[in-house]
Amino acid sequence: MTVVEEIKDRVDIAELIGESMQLKKSGKNFTGFCPFHANTRTPAFVVFPDTGTWRCFGACNEGGDVYKYVMKKEGWDFPQALQNLAERAGVELRPRTPEQEEQEEAQVGLRGLLESAVTFYRNNLLHSDQVLGYLQGRGFSSEALESFGVGYAPDSWDALQAFLLEKGHKHEQLVEAGLIAKRENGGFYDRFRNRIMFPIRDGRGRMAGFGARISDPKDQPKFINSPQTVLFDKGRLLFGLDGARKAIRAADQAVVVEGYFDVIALHQAGHGNAVSPMGTALTSHQLRSLKRYSRNIVLALDADAAGNQATLRGLNVAREALDREPDPVFDARGLVRHEGRLDAEIRIVGLPEGKDPDEVALEDPEAWTDLLRKASPVVEYVMDLLIGPSDSQDAKQKAAIARQVLPLIEDVADPVEREAYRQGLARRLKVDERAMMGWRPKRTTRTQASAPDLQQVDSMATEGFCLGLLLRDPELTYWIDRQLHALELEGLSSQDFIGTDSQVIFKAVQSSLGQVDEEPTERWKALLDGTALDQAIAFASKAEEVDFARPKVADAVSADFFRLRMRRVEGLLEQLSFQQQAVQELETVEQEMISLAKKAQNLVTQKRRLDVALAGRK
């Protein structure tokens, strides 16, 4: 493998592109609004993770690999793109320069220095009866404190530096390691004084810095960290990760708690898969490090944070906020976006009132396991929090909740999941129960002819199945159009398909019909390429199983196409109902209400026709 290929292989293209624009999952791919041309209507930009490519199907009509993307986005030439992506991928481009070797040596020196500090703080703790007594009083075992290297910084301005200088280290090194700071009027002072010290290591167990917690309740602030150094970047490190990696893999779950004590207590109680961020920012870097070991991530919130709507402030943050900005720890919106971009599963659980994870875990390790089982997906968690157990909201409250939750749902990457959340929200808010809920789908049973291997009606599967039929025989489009026209509905369009890839395939089918030079089945093969072509061929071969000579097959097939249209109509109606409610709440012009009502009426009519047609094809 060439280095260019190796880098391409290691960089997650959807993740990289997702950092500078919003991407939504669409089947195996991601779609979004093209960053290279002005478009706000249809997401014309597609990322194909399988092939590591992207393409704008809109005005740009171009695409390429990850290199092409960063070159276009950043204005880099190829060597610049290569250099930057190599760094990201952790691939070395050429033998290290003497300079780099020197830098690495310096880092090794700094880590050694930090290890000496760990020893110093540790010894100091063992001789500080009061602090040790406090820790033991909280239930921590000597073994747990030892394995995390917990220490104590004495209440002194120079004890640490005196110790390290005597070992031959220089002031500059101590400053560089973030252990001491320079006074304005000359001289140096120990950064950490009278504090409980938590060594922070990287995932490989190498020292990076310290987290420090007050020992005297009168001190402020409660927590401080090492400053940013060449080794310490709090947005990239997680406390406890080096010791938690194995347990995360074994449990196929990582648990993120809020404090150092929580992590230690959980490990002590046998729950070794817990880590914590330092302070208040949980970044995509940190989630990405966790995802290396498991894609299932649970955030355990202290009751204060869990029940506090302020923790959801991300909902109200401007949508345009740069994704690169560190998000508040439990910013629901940031989490949902990270989740989609990283293809991780993030759940949230709130702790019992007045209890920290360390208390729960040390009192009863089983209770902790039970608690984690109750974790809910971020969107559900937010809905629970906003809607609560009662359903006493008035119209205005409902509209306000919908306005808060809907944007969050929009950020969910998976279209099927998104749809389920929308339905769940409508149900829980009892939105428009009379006028609008009438169109809620009555699940029709699928006849055996339509898709023998599909047990249930899955809208994405129906989409693939219908496409397969059209690919096998493009002229079937005319027949379906006639069926739709008979119901006074417009003919098939790419809008009947959700996946952008499906739409691309459908458009190829349409184009294959609009020409006479080639057989339509040959034509779409020539029009499609890459992933879309593979997908199209797979769809078409599945459709080979359908035997039109068998009775009722034609009915079953048209029913599947009607379901596609039904899905589209229902989706539009649902959006419309929320919009109507929002407008109503805003008490804006009557005219807008009328126009929305007209649209709704039109959709309800279409839906009724489809209902009748589907009832006749059961």
- List residues near Zn ion by CB under 5 A: 34, 36-37, 56, 58, 60
The DSSP result for 84-111, as a single string, is HHHHHHT---SSPPHHHHHHHHHHHHHH
- Minimum CB distance to Zn ion, residue 53 (Å): 14
What minimum distance in Å lies between the beta carbon of 322 and Zn ion? 21
CA–CA distance, 77 with 93 (Å, rounded to integer): 16
Integer Cα distance of 502 and 509 in angstroms? 11
CB of 78 to Zn ion, least distance (A): 21
What stretches of 269-394 show up as alpha helix (H) in DSSP?
284-291, 303-307, 332-342, 357-363, 365-373, 378-387
What is the 3-state composition of the chain as percent helix, strand, coil, each rounded to the nearest 5?
55, 10, 35
Contacts 24+ apart (CB under 8 A), 303-310: 303/350, 303/351, 303/352, 303/353, 303/354, 303/355, 305/258, 305/329, 305/330, 306/348, 306/349, 306/350, 306/351, 307/350, 307/353, 307/385, 309/385, 309/386
Q: Is the CB of 41 or the CB of 373 nearer to Zn ion?
A: 41
Nearer to Zn ion, 20 or 397 (CB): 20
Contact (Cβ atoms closer than 8 angstroms) between residue 210 and residue 200: yes
Q: Which of 561, 459, 467 is nearest to 509 (CA)?
A: 467
Q: Which residues pair with 188 in a beta bridge?
A: 182
Task: Give least dist CB 39 to Zn ion, A.
Answer: 6
In the numeric block, the tokens 């939750």 are attached to: 405
Residue in the block written with tokens 């420090």 = 212
* Residue in the structure block whose two tokens are 């035997």: 547
Nearest distance in Å: CB 414, Zn ion: 24
113: left (phi over 0), alpha (psi -120 to 50) or beta: alpha
d(CA 378, CA 348): 6
Q: How far apart are CA 102 and CA 108, in angstroms?
A: 10
Q: How far is the CB of 54 from Zn ion (least distance, A)?
A: 10
Query: Is residue 273 within 8 Å of residue 263, measured between CB atoms?
Result: no
Q: Tell me how far apart the alpha carbons of residues 77 and 65 are, in angstroms, rounded to a whole number.
A: 14
Q: What are phi and psi of 396, to 5 degrees?
A: -65, -45
Closest distance between Zn ion and the C-beta of residue 33, in Å?
9
In three-state secondary structure terms, 158 is: coil
Q: How far apart are the first and last CA of the chain?
A: 55
- Measured CA to CA, the distance from residue 395 to residue 402 in angstroms comes to 10
User: In the complex, what is the shortest distance from the CB of residue 503 to Zn ion, in angstroms, rounded to a whole number?
Assistant: 16
Q: CB-wise, 46 or 401, nearer to Zn ion?
A: 46
Specify the residue, 36 or 479, whose C-beta has the smaller distance to Zn ion: 36
Provide the minimum distance between the beta carbon of 82 and Zn ion in the complex, in angstroms, as a whole number. 24
Q: Least distance from C-beta 62 to Zn ion, angstroms?
A: 8
- CB-CB neighbours of 165 under 10 Å: 16
175-185 burial code (b ≥16 CB/10 A, e <16):
bbbbbbeeeee
Closest contact distance (angstroms) between CB of 55 and Zn ion is 9
Closest distance of CB 511 from Zn ion, Å: 20
Which residue lies nearer to Zn ion by CB, 56 or 135? 56
Closest CB 45 distance from Zn ion, rounded Å: 6
Residues 6+ apart with CB under 8 A from 382: 312, 315, 332, 404, 405, 408
CB of 76 to Zn ion, least distance (A): 19
Report yes or no: 47 and 36 within 8 Å, Cβ to Cβ. Answer: no
In the complex, least distance from residue 40 CB atom to Zn ion, rounded to whole angstroms:
12
Element (H, E) at 164: helix 159-166
Which tokens is 239 given? 């406390």
Please give the radius of gyration of the chain, using alpha carbons only, rounded to the nearest integer.
29
State the number of CA atoms in the 13 A half-sphere of 388 facing the CB.
Answer: 10
CB of 186 to Zn ion, least distance (A): 58
- The b/e string for 575-613 (b: 16+ C-beta within 10 A; e otherwise) is ebbbbbbbbebeeeeeeeeeebeeebeebbebbebbbeb
Nearest-angstrom CA–CA distance, 359 and 336: 29
CB-wise, 451 or 504, nearer to Zn ion?
A: 504
